[in-house]
Amino acid sequence: MRGKRNLPQCIIAMTHPSSPHRLTRAIAREAFELLEAGRTVRQLLGAGGEPRRCFANVLRCVERDGGAMALGWLVKSNSGAAVRNRNVYARLNLEAHAVWCRPDGQLVEVTDENAGLPFLPHDAVRCPTNASLTFVDTLELAQQWHVPGVDHLIVPVPALPPEPTIVYGLGPLAPAPRP
């Protein structure tokens, strides 16, 4: 997302009722800011773990080989979903996720189904959390997005400052003083 000004307008924060931790507007906005800053990382692929069990897979690695659990978001782009019998396009979907941080600091994906997907470290994610953030283009799309039995919170994307003006390679110009 870095450098793109054609940004989604809304974030849908979804938390499954069984999750002990809830997503908030602040967490959704922080995740957006981390994405905009280009903070995603690609991690090494490790030994396979059970699908949809990233937290348990990481805990097994930590117990066996040391290191720590790194929490954040699994980044999936261009996803869609059937909503009220029609397809609704989501520009981006972030799922609460964990990867193994080896003792040497290298991040390792230990859940096979997620191989090759970017990871966005974010210390506001808690273990365990069954939650996701979905970025959509309009408020109308956000209002159509519905998953039965799941808590939904619609969060407007925070306004970003305009891109700085560059003149002849001299760098960003300071904004004009306000009267």
Residue 144 belongs to what domain range? 10-50+71-98+114-156
Please say if the pLDDT value at position 136 is more than 70. yes
The verdict on residue 55 lying in a domain is no
The verdict on residue 66 lying in a domain is no
Instruction: Return d(Cα 166, Cα 177) in angstroms, integer.
Output: 17
> pLDDT-based confidence at 11, cuts 50/70/90?
confident
Count of Cβ atoms closer than 10 Å to residue 118 Cβ? 18
The verdict on residue 177 lying in a domain is no
Please say if the pLDDT value at position 16 is more than 90. no
Q: Is the model more confident about 162 or about 27?
A: 27
SS3 76: strand
HSE-CB at 130 with a 13 A cutoff on CA atoms is 11
The verdict on residue 22 lying in a domain is yes
The verdict on residue 57 lying in a domain is no
> pLDDT-based confidence at 57, cuts 50/70/90?
very high
The verdict on residue 45 lying in a domain is yes
Average pLDDT value for residue range 130-135:
86
Q: How many helices (DSSP H) and strands (DSSP E) are in the chain? A: 3, 8
Instruction: Return d(Cα 71, Cα 171) in angstroms, integer.
Output: 36
Number of domains forming the structure of the chain: 1
Determine which of 46-55, 105-114, 146-155 has the lowest per-residue pLDDT on average: 146-155
Please tell me what DSSP assigns to residue 146. Answer: -
The verdict on residue 167 lying in a domain is no
The predicted model scores a pTM of 0.77
Instruction: Return d(Cα 107, Cα 100) in angstroms, integer.
Output: 6
The verdict on residue 39 lying in a domain is yes
Determine which of 40-54, 127-141, 157-171 has the lowest per-residue pLDDT on average: 157-171
